[in-house]
Structure 1
Amino acid sequence: MKKTIGLLGGSFNPAHHGHVHITLTALKCFNLDEIWWVMSPGNPLKEYYPEPMEKRIAEAKRIMCHPRVRITDIESKLSSPYTACTLAYITTSFPRNQFVWLMGADNLEQIHKWKDWRSILSKVPIGILARPDNQLAPLKARAARIYRSSRVPNWQSRTLARSPAPRWCYAILPMSHLSSTKIRSA
């Protein structure tokens, strides 16, 4: 049977205990074998420049010590910073695994702005993790409306990883109020 792996993308600038919390929660909620943190060299939709990759990876490895979590720099080795390209590379390079893209609910509200966003939803199931600030607004997002019929109910979240794309699940989990943006601005 294929191993189920969650892919949590982000700049992790800086990595913090909120990331650890959602990672450990997603392992259980979506019944995943592993989670890979996909460290991004930079977010094309944001105008700030993150700390150097080596520094962010070292901090992520320090804070996220778990045998089922891998910190990766896969995206920095690709010629593109776009999730669609990263997923195409990962799913082709690791065909013996079943992947789930993990993201915060704030990204569901803006995923329609991502390059080739529909190909992301058609490539792998998406596990969406509620954020503490607004739990209902993401469900009104453009992508949520377009892919309404592909939604897996929260109570079936453990089946998401074995579901064919396009499938997505909006998981309302115990919350952490930590945020990289808030930490950087402090």
Structure 2
Amino acid sequence: MPPAQPGMRIGLFGGSFNPPHEGHLLVAETARRRLGLDRVWWMVTPGNPLKDHGKLRPIGERLAAVRALAPGRHSVPTAFEARHRIRYSADTVALLRRRHPGVHFVWIMGADSLASFHRWQDWREIATSLPIAVVDRPGSTLSVLSAITPQVLARFRLPETAARALPLRQPPAWVFLHGPRSTVSSTLLRRQNGD
């Protein structure tokens, strides 16, 4: 698990990253800049329980690809979930809150993930444990805001102009961020590579 000091603002950006791409980098960098985060932990997961693992590259390959895509002191690629045998994001959140009680963690996701967030194991527990930053993705802007999770959490949404305050907000709290977008997706890249 990467080191973290009390008082730090750390974004948690989890995914299969199969493969990581420019769209992921835009999400991470938009959240980092707009929320004033000290670091973004790119959490390379053993595998998303809601996705097919048939074409999932080995975790070491995916971790190396994230390191190549997102170098620098603000990006921290990690695969600690595999080491701790964590399957669900709610368990990751619980572990991090126990290990680093003084750190201000923020869950980061692309808007396309928000649309299915209500299907995640213990999604309400995640939403009441950490603030959430949702970064716009092509094709998701309008439709995602009518999905179940944004409707349930509507009263806890901060205006985009207050995004920098999100890491210090008591959850539930979330913000929808707009910024540069990329139409690239991992699925598209796998198709192009014949995977």
What TM bracket, shorter-length normalisation? over 0.9
1:158 matched to 2:176: no
- Aligned residue for 1:176? 182
1:130 to 112, 133, 136: 136
User: In the aligned structure 1, how far is the partner of 2:159 from the partner of 2:134?
Assistant: 12
Superimposed CA distance per residue, residues 122-172 of structure 1 (whole angstroms, 9 cap, x where no aligned partner): 010000011111311111111111111100111111111111110010111
Partner of 1:77: 83
- The CA distance in 2 between the partners of 1:93 and 1:151, in whole Å, is 27
Alignment gaps of 5+ in structure 2: 1-5
Q: Which residue of 1 aligns with 2:92?
A: 86
C-alpha displacement at 1:96, in angstroms?
A: 2.5
Conserved? CA contact 1:78–1:86, under 8 Å: no
Distance across 2 between alignment mates of 1:24 and 1:7: 12
The Cα offsets for residues 66-108 of structure 1, whole Å up to 9 and x where unpaired, read as 1111001111122331100011111211223110000011111
Q: Answer yes or no: is the 8 Å Cα contact 1:84–1:115 preserved in 2.
A: yes
Deviations 1:32-72 (A, max 9, x none): 11100011010100113310011111111111111111001
Compute the RMSD of aligned alpha carbons: 1.2
Corresponding residue for residue 104 of structure 2:
98
**Alignment equivalent of 1:51, drawn from 42, 47, 57:** 57
- Structure 1 gaps of 5+ residues are none
TM-score, scaled to structure 1: 0.96
Q: Letter of the 1:83 partner, please give it.
A: S
Q: Which runs of 4+ in 1 moved over 3 A?
A: none
For 1:105, give the aligned amino acid.
A
Give the Cα separation in 2 of the matches to 1:81 and 1:101. Answer: 16
Matched, 1:119 2:125: yes
Which residue does the alignment assign to 2:9? 4
Identity of aligned residues (%): 36
2:30 and 2:135 in contact (8 A); partners too: no
* Secondary structure of 2:10's aligned partner: strand
Give distance in 1, aligned partners of 2:52 and 2:15.
14
| TM-score for the superposition, normalised by structure 2 | 0.92
Mapped partners of 2:113, 2:140: distance in 1? 12
Partners of 2:17 and 2:149 lie apart in 1 by 24
Structure 1 residue aligned with 2:23? 18
- Separation in 1, partners of 2:73, 2:32: 12
SS at match of 1:128: strand
In structure 1, C-alpha distance between the alignment counterparts of 2:132 and 2:110, rounded to whole Å: 10
